[in-house]
Structures are given as C-alpha cells and as structure tokens.
Amino acid sequence: MFDKVFLIDSGAKRGAFQMWLDEQLALHLETLLPILGKNVALLRFYAWQPFCISIGYHQSDAVFNRHLLSQDGIDLVRRPTGGRAVFHAEELTYSLVMHTDAPNAVCYTQISLALQIGLAELGIEASLQRQQPNFRMRYAQAESVPCFTASARDELEVKGKKIIGSAQRRYGQTLLQHGSILLSPKHLEMTRYLNTTPDIQARIAKDLREKTISASELLGRAVSYHEAVQAFRTGFERAWHLPLVPLSEAELLQLLGQSNTVAVH
C-alpha cells in the first residue's frame, strides 16, 4: 500500500491547532513528498486540551451554546472534513494524510481494518458496519447533531454500537481522513451544550447512549491515551505489513515550513 508510513504523536493540544495541522498537511502533502518520499503516508495521533467540540465543515455552529462552552472551558472548532459534531473528551484521535488514486471508499475500508486490529490489541472485538444509512434524511432530524448517532458503511461497531467515528476530505490526489476513538463515555456530555429545548436534548442524549460505546465501558477499566496509541500503532503496522517510522511534531512542522517556502518560491 505504502513504502513508508510516518507516525507523529502530537499529544494533547488545543482543537484549533489540531485542525490547522491536519488541514495544512493535506494542503501541502504534494510539496512534502520530494522530502519524505513519493509513496508515503502520515499517521498522526493526538488528543484535545482543553476538551473541544468540533463541527463538520458545513455544519452550523448555532446549535451550540457558546456562553456555556466558554463558562466550562470547552473549545469549539470547525473541522476541514464534513459530518456532524463530536465532543472530543477522553478519546484518541487519529489522522491520516496520503497521496492516493484509490477511491475514498477503498481507503476507508483499509483504514477501518487497521483500526479493527487496534481495537483487538486492546481486547475489543469490533465489526464493520455493512449498511449505508440515508444521511440526507438523517441530517433533517434534530437528533442528527452528533456524529456518533449514526454509523456509515465500514465504520466500526461493537454489539451494534459505534466506537469510532471518522470523516474524509479530498484535496486533489491527497486524502485526509481523521476520526475519534472513544476511550470513555465522556462524549455523552455533549448534549449539555446544545442550543435546543430540554426535550430535544433528552432525545439526543438517549440516542447517544443507545448507539455508542467506549473502550472503558467494554473493558471495565480506564484506557489511557498512551495505551491506546500503542495498540493502534500495532494495528496499522499489522494491517499494512510495515513498521511505522516515528517523526516528531517539531520535525514535521519544520518540514512543513520548508515545503511552504518551496511552494511560494
């Protein structure tokens, strides 16, 4: 699939930075390829500090109570990808940027298989969702605000409940896919920040409880960020049959600066 996959562990940072870096890597991968190699991918793991709600590229931010978010120290950012809102709290986020001619659906499945092995490394048996819901109809409903209330084809579920939510965007021949791996049920607290009636909040909360599950709930213990990083690193290495090459975030930012200079001049 690739000659080399670089692994960047960015750790916990503000959501605005994490989304900026994902987008910059996607926008400038073409100019990074002469430096890193032609057939490479960038796999990044990160978390969110402070906790943050991200909304899809086309989603309105009016559905959230900014005053309450600010009061609780919760950030609100817009993702470069589509989809619906995610409350990023006590999770592991992965991001993949790759140059590929393969169809989006094929890439999605290949990534899901690696994530499935990563879950197995934690002791969680997950299966791929094989049905494609009608998202146009789903998005017309009030309950559609959170991403995790519906599973797309080839997303991972455990006992019929969603544990990882992902989104994609194409930039020419570059594909960005990133997603949230639920380590705890903290994401359920999103409904507190919705700008809607108590009745709709309650319906969305019920929907989230019934349709999502986290690693800690399944294992009966806490799963740390570092444990999850190691498990999913192994998942990608086993699925793609190659060792991941560590690359520090500082090195990556330096290379990104060089590539931008090359692009400008």
> What positions carry a catalytic annotation?
147
> Is omega for the bond preceding 50 within 30 degrees of 0, making it cis?
yes
Which residue matches tokens 């309450």?
Answer: 68
Provide the residue type at 47 as one letter. Answer: A
**How do strand 52-55 and strand 75-78 relate by DSSP bridges?**
parallel
